[in-house]
Copies of this chain bind each other. A is one copy, B any other.
Amino acid sequence: MLKNDLLLRALRGEKTERVPVWMMRQAGRYLPDYMKLKAKYDFFTRVQTPELAAAITLQPIDQVGVDAAIIFSDILVIPQAMGLEVLMEEGKGPSLPKVIQSQKDIDALNTADAAHHLKYVLDALSLTKKELNGRVPLIGFAGAPWTILCYMVEGKGSKTWDKAKQFAYTQPLLAHQLLQKITDITIDYLKAQVAAGADTVQVFDSWAGSLSPADFKIYAQPYLLQISDALKHHAPVILFPKGTWYALKDLAASSASGLGIDWCVAPKVARELTNNSITLQGNFDPAKLLAPIPEIRKAVKEMISEFGTHRYIANLGHGITPNVPVDHAKAFVDAVKEFGVAN
């Protein structure tokens, strides 16, 4: 039994005595204890060693007081499970030496046995679940198919995702084959995460905003909906397609339980676009965590008054950045606890 199930009740649309709060990338580089482990173990060692991943996952629960844990992992474990090499070079971001270009490349991708290939994530979830001992819910996650395709085709981060979009626009049948393969293994993976202890799962479509509204409907939305539909009887699903305010209306009518909102959508507009029909999560500008604490508190109060305390999960509009002082992160969380009490 969970001692604090605010997040899950908010996702079910139930009234909560106060707004739950967590932060994307809350287990990350702004925490000195994370930096100590980072100095000793490289990125994929941290991800692939359940004891390390669990320890990192728990750090912000103890140190910042968030209402949920999100497993420390990476969205690029899926390309790895599909058979592609992923390198993570300090300060340079991820890179994939071999990219997807042809039918042959796609045919060679594995989509079976997600639970076998990513057993280390499942072990990390089980271990974290045990160590949490019911304090707060545990969130599993995966990248959305469009975002994973971006990396698999482009081979590294990009401002414009030209190559990924060129692939989609010139070889749409191949793109859809690839998106479907990613979707299939992601569904298995997320189901396995729930079986291993995740109370809810979030799907990060970090690069959905590179697509026009029309292309989002072709290359991103159908696969997000497939995942949401496949998971809905397993656990509540939170979709976070960053930069796609234009899709909020459609996604609010989906089987998802929650929608992540980035900071470029005004809270009241997000409520209007989603017709008050779904739990919203977000959307504090991560850069505002660099402002003085009184400014943070003021902005949190405004955010909550605009979203309202019902069907709302306070979060950032994107991941917390490494340069945020821990006491600023804690001030954000504390302000939600203070101003997020339901009236």
Residues of A within 8 A of B (CB): 159-162, 165-166, 169-170, 209, 211-215, 243-246, 263-266, 269, 285-288, 290-292, 295, 302, 317-318, 321, 323
Within 8 Å CB of A243, what residues of B?
264
Give the number of copies in the complex: 2
* A162 nearest in chain B by CB position: B287
**Residue of B with least CB distance to A321:** B162
Taking the nearest CB of chain B, how far is it from the CB of A218, in angstroms? Answer: 12
Complex contact A169–B288 (CB within 8 A): yes
Listed residue (A212, A215, A290) with the most chain B CB atoms within 10 angstroms of its CB: A212
Smallest Cβ distance from A194 to chain B, in angstroms? 32
- Cβ contact within 8 Å between B170 and A292: yes
Q: Which residue of chain B has the shortest Cβ distance to A292 in the bound complex?
A: B170
What CA separation (Å) do A241 and B321 show in the bound complex? 25
Please give, as numbers and ranges, the residues of chain B lying within 8 Å of A287 by CB-CB distance.
160-162, 165-166, 169
A209 to B266 Cα, complex, angstroms: 13
Choose from B169, B290, B302 the contact partner of A170 (Cβ within 8 Å).
B290
Which chain B residue lies CB-closest to A296? B169
Query: When chains A and B are docked, how far (Å) is the Cα of A266 from the Cα of B214?
Result: 8
Whole-angstrom CA separation of A23 from B311 in the bound complex = 44
B264 near A209 (CB under 8 angstroms)?
yes
How far does the alpha carbon of A264 sit from the alpha carbon of B209 in the complex, in Å?
7
Nearest 4 CB-CB pairings of A with B: A165-B287, A169-B291, A166-B290, A213-B266
Beyond the given A165-B290, A166-B290, A170-B290, could you list 7 further A-B residue pairs with CB under 8 A, ordered by the A residue number?
Answer: A162-B321, A165-B288, A170-B292, A212-B264, A215-B285, A245-B245, A246-B264
Bound Cα distance from A245 to B213, whole angstroms:
12
Q: Would B169 and A269 count as touching, CB distance under 8 A?
A: no
On whether the beta carbons of B213 and A269 are closer than 8 Å, the reply is yes
Residues A285 and B212 in contact in the complex (CB < 8 Å), given A264-B246, A265-B246:
yes
CA distance A161 to B263 in the complex (A): 14
- For residue A291, which residues in chain B have a CB less than 8 angstroms away from its CB? 166, 169-170
Given contacts A162-B287, A269-B213, A285-B212, contact A169 B295 (CB under 8 A): yes
26 A–B pairs (Cβ distance < 8 Å), ordered by A: A160-B321, A161-B287, A162-B290, A162-B321, A162-B323, A165-B287, A169-B287, A169-B288, A169-B290, A169-B291, A170-B290, A170-B291, A170-B295, A211-B264, A211-B285, A212-B264, A212-B285, A212-B317, A213-B264, A213-B269, A214-B266, A214-B302, A215-B285, A245-B245, A245-B246, A246-B264
